[in-house]
Structure 1
Amino acid sequence: MRKPTQLQLPFSSMSLRRIETEANYHRFYALELERDLFGQTLLARRWGRIGTCGKARFDQYPDEEAARAALAALVLAKQKRGYRDSMASFLGTQKTQRDACHDQPFEHAPIDEAREPTLPF
């Protein structure tokens, strides 16, 4: 069996989602490297339907490098199943909305001095 391509991940967390509205399929899959109270490296996996708490699993690894390799392998496996990086799509939609907001002039809200509370000092 061929070994999957190793991703170089400079980060310790990844958030994926898979949305297929025709099939009513709205899923998330979040991965994060954590440390427990004893200093052990854990790979926390959380998954489920978007809008719910979902389920969680914590796998212990001997070192951070092994946990990063497992994180990369899981990301590749989930991407093959149709999951995509949720931050990339989120930032893409936010960028267009943000650009539209920046075109409008900023107006300060008027301050009503009579309604402002007095400070105790």
Structure 2
Amino acid sequence: MDIERTLDRLLAPEGGSLALEARAPERGLARSWRMVVDRDLFGRICLVWSWGRIGTRGQGKSLSFADPQAARGPLRALLQRRLRAPQRIAVAYRSVEAGQHLHWI
């Protein structure tokens, strides 16, 4: 995954989303990680991400930023952590869905 291209796509004026999964059935590992970036009614950038075992409700967090440049650093940190998954869980995350919106915010 090219982080800079992904950041540009997520921070586009129309917003964006990213869905990743890490699976290792032989180890019982099935993780999901999703992110949606959009603007709220006041024009702020809203970042919502969720994670958990596939098929469960999981957990989520959200942040808002005044402009795309302020959101770039936290977004980059979240994506870099997903790219380091093989070092932590011995399985890489792979993209399963990348659209303009997931429409669940």
Structure 2 length normalisation: TM-score?
A: 0.65
- The size of the alignment, in residue pairs, is 84
- Structure 1 window deviating more from structure 2 (11-20 vs 61-70): it is 61-70
- The aligned counterpart of 2:40 is 36
String of CA shifts for 1:28-84, please: whole Å, max 9, x gaps. 111121222322211111111111222211111221123233223211111201342
- The aligned counterpart of 1:68 is 72
Q: Distance in 1 between matches of 2:43 and 2:94?
A: 29
Q: Which of the pair is proportionally richer in strand?
A: 2
Q: Gaps spanning 5+ residues in structure 1: where?
A: 89-121
Secondary structure of the structure 2 residue equivalent to 1:38: coil
- The aligned counterpart of 1:92 is none
1:57 matches 2:55: no
Q: Could you tell me how far 1:6 is from its partner in structure 2? A: 5.8
1:25 matches 2:29: yes
- The aligned counterpart of 1:86 is 95
Name the larger-Rg structure. 1
Secondary structure of the structure 2 residue equivalent to 1:37: coil
Q: Could you tell me how far 1:7 is from its partner in structure 2? A: 2.5
The percent of aligned pairs where both chains have the same amino acid is 30
Q: What is the root-mean-square deviation of aligned Cα atoms in Å?
A: 2.3
Q: Gaps spanning 5+ residues in structure 2: where?
A: 11-16, 87-91, 98-105
